[in-house]
């Protein structure tokens, strides 16, 4: 959605989900909102704080979600 476009669609989305009564976890990617558009119009991520690119492949993403939900169940 982007930081400049999130203000109008997010509140109704949160309200609709809340009305279901189903507990949810809102989880975002760490690099969202970190996009820079070059003069040519290409988008890129910036401000990496480590030597590795903080993106996950599908298997790593599934593993991260599994670990996170295990923590929630244990709490």
Sign (positive/negative) of CA torsion 67, 65, 9, 18?
negative
Work out how many domains the chain is built from and give that number: 1
- Cα 40 off chain centre by: 26
Query: Per-residue pLDDT for 52 more than 70?
Result: no
Exposed, middle or buried, 45 (CB in 10 Å: 0-12/13-18/19+)? middle
What torsion, rounded to 10 degrees, do the Cα atoms 68, 25, 8, 32 define?
Answer: 0
Exposed, middle or buried, 69 (CB in 10 Å: 0-12/13-18/19+)? exposed
Domain membership flag for residue 29: yes
Work out the percent of the chain whose per-residue pLDDT is above 90.
Answer: 25
Domain membership flag for residue 4: no
**What pLDDT, on the 0 to 100 scale, is given for residue 6?**
83
Domain membership flag for residue 46: yes
| Tens digit of each residue's pLDDT (9 = 90 or more) over 37-46 | 788 888 776 6
Work out the percent of the chain whose per-residue pLDDT is above 70.
Answer: 75
| Tens digit of each residue's pLDDT (9 = 90 or more) over 15-43 | 999 999 999 888 776 666 667 778 888 87
């Amino acid at each position: 959605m982007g930081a400049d476009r999130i203000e109008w669609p997010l509140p109704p989305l949160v309200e609709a989900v809340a009305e279901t009564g189903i507990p949810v976890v809102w989880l975002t990617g760490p690099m969202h909102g970190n996009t820079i558009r070059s003069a040519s119009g290409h988008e890129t991520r910036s401000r990496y704080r480590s030597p590795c690119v903080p993106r996950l492949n599908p298997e790593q993403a599934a593993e991260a979600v599994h670990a996170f939900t295990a923590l929630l169940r244990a709490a």
